[in-house]
Amino acid sequence: MNLKDTIRTIPDFPVKGIMFRDITTLMTNRHAYHASIVQLCQPYEDLKIDNVAGIEARGFTFAGAMADRLGAGFVPIRKAGKLPGDVYSQSYDLEYGSDILEIHADAIRGQEKVVLVDDLIATGGTAVAAVKLLRKTGAKIVGAAFVVNLPELGGLKKIAAMGIPVTALVSFDGH
């Protein structure tokens, strides 16, 4: 199973110059989707993970399945204004634009072991904001896992430089 071949590239979406790596074609392939969940979980199988934190929205589709496989809970990290309880907020820059992420202030109890998950890491702006939010909750971040890495944009290295073990299943050249 070559996961990379199941990911479709759409040029100039959502703006000109972006090569959009579309993981919906991986997800609709049952074998590829299952293989991606197994591979994403592999480093964490024996670590007794408490929670898997997924970043809205495409991160949810992998983080939820991972949480169930790891016997862990699921924590949503959402765009501003979506979570109903008390939240921590963090602004961040995207490859295209800027935004705010939030997490429920009581989502993590004490020093729980958490894995952070998103579909794709580009500049790392989104994931760095998610790491800052998880650290505000007191979580112990034991790893960050991504389906796709765009190495030329340097995001994965930024997360590793924050002292977090990183994994990505597939890499694409360029933006």
Residues that bind ligand AMP (CB under 6 A): 18-21, 55, 58, 94-95, 118-127, 155
Q: Which is nearer to ligand AMP, 46 or 98 (CB)?
A: 98
DSSP 130-166: HHHHHHHHT-EEEEEEEEEE-GGG-HHHHHHHTT--E
Catalytic residue selected from 21, 30, 69, 95: 95
Catalytic, 30? Answer no
User: CB neighbours of 147 closer than 8 A, spacing ≥ 6?
Assistant: 3, 7, 23, 26, 36, 40, 62, 119, 120, 168, 169, 170
Distance in Å, CB of 34 to ligand AMP, minimum: 21
Q: Which is nearer to ligand AMP, 112 or 120 (CB)?
A: 120
Q: Which is nearer to ligand AMP, 45 or 152 (CB)?
A: 152
Q: What angle do CA 103, 97, 93 make, to 5 degrees?
A: 50
Catalytic, 112? Answer no
Catalytic residue selected from 58, 78, 102, 112: 58
Nearest to 149 by CA among 128, 109, 118: 118
Distance in Å, CB of 18 to ligand AMP, minimum: 5
Distance in Å, CB of 21 to ligand AMP, minimum: 4
Residues with active-site annotation: 58, 95
